[in-house]
């Protein structure tokens, strides 16, 4: 399994595709970008919502490359479910790296963090809490979709 921490110089030649995605991620202020051949999906939405939506829409992303600002265990499980072959993360959690590595997904990152914290910085991200005891990507998708829906209803009330 290939994974490595990246410096400010970027990726080596064998990571050229991820390097281009990483550049767009930063240049266009995206939260995530996924490319499969000529098909490119981008988002500026925070969290895992774009991944949940692409899965729900039935996007065929098997063999795709992805770049994401933050990848924790929740996002890693969704990327595995999507069938991506490689992921660059600005920040990658240790549990996210373990999921990607265990499932044969090449992982590259700028920062490796012990875990992903919530937006208030007061504890673990709620999506990470949701998948603490889940290792199956399909089960994670169901649990994360339900959690996202609950959180959405909490913010609209």
Per-residue pLDDT tens digits for 23-61? 999 999 999 999 999 999 999 999 999 999 999 999 999
Per DSSP, the three-state class of 119 is coil
Burial (CB count within 10 angstroms: exposed 0-12, middle 13-18, buried 19+), residue 23: middle
CATH label of the domain that carries residue 55? 3.40.140.30
Per DSSP, the three-state class of 103 is coil
Residue 143 lies in domain: 3-156
Contact 55, 68 (CB under 8 A): no
Tell me the per-residue pLDDT of 119-142, one tens digit each, with 9 for 90 and over. 999 999 999 999 999 999 999 999
pTM for the predicted model, two decimal places: 0.89
* Domain total of the chain: 1
């Amino acid at each position: 399994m290939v994974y490595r921490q990246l410096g400010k110089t970027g990726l080596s030649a064998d990571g050229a595709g991820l390097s281009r995605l990483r550049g767009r991620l930063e240049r266009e202020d995206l939260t995530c970008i996924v490319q499969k051949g000529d098909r490119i999906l981008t988002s500026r939405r925070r969290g895992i919502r774009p991944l949940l939506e692409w899965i729900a829409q039935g996007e065929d992303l098997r063999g795709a490359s992805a770049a994401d600002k933050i990848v924790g265990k929740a996002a890693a499980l969704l990327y595995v479910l999507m069938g991506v072959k490689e992921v660059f993360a600005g920040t990658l959690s240790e549990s996210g790296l373990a999921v990607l590595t265990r499932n044969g997904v090449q992982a590259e990152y700028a920062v490796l963090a012990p875990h992903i914290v919530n937006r208030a910085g007061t504890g673990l991200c709620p999506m990470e809490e949701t998948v603490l005891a889940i290792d199956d990507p399909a089960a994670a998708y169901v649990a994360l979709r339900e959690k996202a829906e609950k959180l959405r209803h909490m913010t609209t009330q």
